[in-house]
Amino acid sequence: MKIVARIFGSTLGKKYIMALTGLGMVFFVTGHMIGNLQLFLGPEALNRYAAFLQGLGELLWVVRLGMLGLIALHVWSALALSVENKAARPIEYGHGKAAYGASLASRTMLVGGMIIALFVVFHILHYTACVKAVNFMGVDFAHLDYTMKDGRVVHDVFAMVLYGFSVWYVSLFYLIAVGFLALHLSHGISAMCQSLGLRSHAWWPAISNGAKIWAVALFLGYAVVPGGVLAGFGKSYVEKVKSSVSAPAVTETVQQPAQQPVQEAK
């Protein structure tokens, strides 16, 4: 118990907590991005993957609660360290002006982190909780159904994502948010390596450049989804879903044909 109190009570301990929780989230955002890219493989692939995740049942809730714990600890340690820094240096160097040589990424860590946290809340309401009010279309995303080739009826996450990003300002918000995410990680990944004691002369340039490359790859991997939809990917598919949703007989439940050809999504 004493060791836990010492870790949570010391500046070094908080830096470790921030680094390790950040590392966990870097793994999550990388995995999530790879999963999302299956959109470009068509409805069968993306919906199979989403149904697999939903099928994890209790394990999914363990992962969700674990993620929530990581986010809470990351935010807490960041805020606590920022309060400690301010207390140690009540008058900032340069009277509030940016420190010489400090990058945009390092200067925007706190505000960028807050924007990302707000985005994640919106994103969960948008695509996980499927709250109608935040998709700005008044459509019940939870009741979009897709019939797999094996006959299983699953949630049409493919249609939901296309539908969601067909609202240009929602896509723009996602693009801005993933821009902040990339900026945050371009500094965060190298800061995390430094906190974990990996800042050696030989490795540092590779770590610092690797962090930037990883951040850019994440930006591109995420941005290509709303960007692709805005550029017309899956237009015919979403038009078909839209017409079924607005048809009075079907109300909000959309039944897709059992043999949905992948090419139709292009």
Which residues lie below 8 Å from residue 242, measured CB to CB, with a gap of 6+?
163
32 scored as a contact of ligand HEM (CB under 6 A):
yes
Q: What share of the chain is helix, strand, coil (3-state, %, to 5)?
A: 75, 5, 25
Nearest-approach distance from CB 161 to ligand HEM, in angstroms: 5
Hunting for tokens 């004493």 — which residue is that? 2
Q: Is there a contact between 6 and 13 (Cβ–Cβ < 8 Å)?
A: yes
Which is nearer to ligand HEM, 181 or 191 (by Cβ)?
A: 181
Q: Which of residues 109-168 bind ligand HEM (CB under 6 A)?
A: 116, 120, 123-124, 127-128, 157, 161
The beta-strand segments (E) located in the chain are 145-147, 153-155
β-bridge mates for residue 95, sequence order: none
Residue from the set 17, 19, 26, 29 that interacts with ligand HEM by CB under 6 A: 29
Nearest-approach distance from CB 211 to ligand HEM, in angstroms: 16
Stretch of 14-22, 100-108, 133-141, 173-181 lying at the interface with ligand HEM (CB under 6 A): 173-181
Residue from the set 17, 73, 159, 181 that interacts with ligand HEM by CB under 6 A: 181
Binding mask 185-224 for ligand HEM (x = CB under 6 A): -------------------------------------x--
Q: Is there a contact between 159 and 142 (Cβ–Cβ < 8 Å)?
A: no
Residue from the set 49, 141, 163, 174 that interacts with ligand HEM by CB under 6 A: 174
Give the DSSP letter of residue 152: -
Nearest-approach distance from CB 177 to ligand HEM, in angstroms: 6
DSSP H helices in 124-200: 157-165, 168-195
Which residues lie below 8 Å from residue 65, measured CB to CB, with a gap of 6+?
none
Count of residues of this chain found to bind ligand HEM when the rule CB under 6 A is applied: 20
Rounded distance between C-alpha atoms, residue 120 and residue 154, angstroms: 24
According to DSSP, the β-strands at 153-155 and 145-147 are antiparallel
Q: Which of residues 41-80 bind ligand HEM (CB under 6 A)?
A: 50, 64, 67
Applying CB under 6 A, which residues contact ligand HEM? Answer: 29, 32, 36, 50, 64, 67, 116, 120, 123-124, 127-128, 157, 161, 174, 178, 181, 222, 225-226
